[in-house]
Structure 1
Amino acid sequence: MNISLKSGLLAGTFVFASITAIAQEKNIELPPEATEFYEPVPQKIEAGESTNTPASDAKILFDGSDLSAFLNEKDGSEPTWNIEGDVLTVNPGTGGIVTKENFGDMQLHLEWRSPSEIKGEGQGRGNSGVIIMGKYEVQILDSYENDTYTNGQAASIYKQSPPLVNATKAPGEWNTYDIIFTAPRFNEDGMLLSPAKLTVLHNGVVVQNNYELRGPTEYIGIPNYTKHEEKLPIHFQDHGNPVSFRNIWVRELE
């Protein structure tokens, strides 16, 4: 957000709040025009043709062409995941991939599918994850007729919040995640001012509704916040299963 737009937004909010406070304090009946403001004017963008296509201001992380937006999580080298057509598939054992660019508040879209050939069960079946800021994981798992702990199934905030419903499609079919993320805020002394928040739509269904995270994802133990940078990479996990991805894009929310 540019300075002029941000200043306009703050000014408009301040004026609206001031008018409302005065009216409530003095019990004044206001005309409708008193609570209308015309600046800032929201930026005009072009929406995608469907909910799966990126808006004009989106940053494309993967569109089938290459992995130039990513690095290998282990050593920062070029990723060796497999690309066939417009589909990216985990190369098991090579390590996860992380974005070169750092992100904070965002709208993230991705599409994923578990292997059509069912192997394993529970957490061993179609397991991956998208780990926002490298700390806050939304689980990817074949949860189609596959029992596991509910805060570890698909679309859970891993080990914290199970999804409101299980919207997972059958193995081999494409799932979509649309994730709205608000990063945590800390003061200069490292004290948490506001926790991270996540809203997740799984195949168009709200499964996490502005959930306040208790801290970064922990496999063992209780999550606790520690101050970190305002923006960090997005991590796509190699959990040993050939999970596939396509159409990954992000919109920064300033």
Structure 2
Amino acid sequence: MRIRLVGLVTSALILSCSTLHAQQPALQPAQDSKVFRPDQSVLASPAPQGAIVLLDAKSHQFLSMSGEGIDWKRQDDGLVATKSENRVNHIVSQWHFQDADIHVEFTVSELAEGNSGIYIHGNYELQIFNSFGKKEITDHDQGALYGFSKPLVNASKEPGQWQVYDIRYRAPRRDDKGKITEPGEVTAWLNGQLVQDRTRFEEPKSVYHPFRYGTTDYLKKIGKQQLATSVGPVFLQDHGSPTRFRNVWILPLDDKAILYKN
């Protein structure tokens, strides 16, 4: 009888654990790096629950490259990139993150080829460029992970029209010496079309990213922290063109996001 009772209890525990496991909620899209298909049919699209809004019609959470106030002009419900002599007047988010979904709405200008970009962690650029109508596209065109991977399709709209990027970013993992142990990965949708599909990358290639070109003491501190933690900001790029931005937010995919204090 005792042996039988133990057997019954054991069976009940196994069944209970199996039932509990089966009842666990499925991962939501924001948690599952393999499921990412944002709805880009309506702009401006509202930020989802849990998102950190970096730019809306009333406020922003960006600083200059030196960690001070920005001089980009407010226009309607967003900001317009203000060019500098050396094209290094980027703005940097005060919120830093490791892995996140990133949403950016923008318009390109015909001036300076509409050149701008989204520097994720200051190292990896999703290109903004006037690529509308181009038949042959490269890793310098809009939709590219600049210097790494050309877009799968040319999804660019005409200059002056609102466009949208939705990006799922997984940061490279590094050891205690700052060496990459696992590549990073990015999936990006542009104007309703998939332009990067789990593209992998390691060390940055561009000599013009903010930690190498026109850098500041403020950015050097951020860069050092980033090597140690894989946590960093997102930059909106000045490349001489009056690119307009609005409705910028991030949705962290982990618990690593912080409001950076200098």
The TM-score, its normalising length taken from structure 1, stands at: 0.73
How far apart are the structure 1 equivalents of 2:170 and 2:195? 16
For 1:80 and 1:89, the matched residues in 2 are separated by 10
Where does residue 78 of structure 1 map in the other structure? Answer: 69
Which letter does structure 2 place at the counterpart of 1:203? N
1:244 maps to 244
Query: 2:83 matched to which residue of 1?
Result: 92
Which AA in structure 2 matches 1:202? L
Q: Which ranges of structure 1 fall in alignment gaps of 5 or more residues?
A: 1-18, 20-32, 221-225
1:193 deviation in Å?
2.1
What's the CA shift for 1:53?
1.6
For residue 113 of structure 2, what is the aligned residue in structure 1? 125
Kindly state the Cα deviation for residue 85 of structure 1 after the two structures are TM-superposed.
1.5
Q: Is the 8 A contact 2:176 2:228 kept in 1?
A: no
Counterpart mapping for 1:100-249 below 5 A: 100-115=94-109, 118-119=110-111, 124-145=112-133, 150-219=138-207, 227-249=227-249
Q: Which runs of 4+ in 1 moved over 6 A?
A: none
Q: How big is the shift at 1:76?
A: 1.4
Tell me the equivalent position of 1:14. none
Residues 229 and 243 of structure 1: CA distance in aligned 2, closer, same or farther (over 3 Å): same
Structure 2's unaligned 5+ residue stretches are 1-13, 31-37, 209-225, 255-262
Q: Percent identical across equivalent pairs?
A: 32
Q: State which drifts further: 85-94 or 199-208.
A: 85-94
Match in the other structure for 2:22: 37
Count of equivalent residues:
208
Distance 1:148-1:41 versus aligned 2 partners, 3 A rule: closer
Point out which structure has higher relative CO (alpha carbons under 8 A, 6+ apart).
2
Residue identity matched to 2:47: P
Preserved contact between residue 172 and residue 202 of structure 2 (Cα < 8 Å): no
TM score, norm. by length of structure 2: 0.71
- Judging changes above 3 Å, is the alpha-carbon distance between structure 1 residues 81 and 189 closer, same or farther for their aligned structure 2 residues? closer
Whether the 8 Å contact between 1:199 and 1:209 is mirrored in structure 2 is yes
Measured in 2, the distance between the counterparts of 1:58 and 1:218 equals: 29
Cα deviation code 1:91-121 (max 9, x no counterpart)? 1117110001211100000111112xx33xx
Aligned match for 2:51, one of 45, 52, 58? 58
Q: Give the Å deviation of 1:175.
A: 0.8
Distance 1:82 1:237, change over 3 A: same
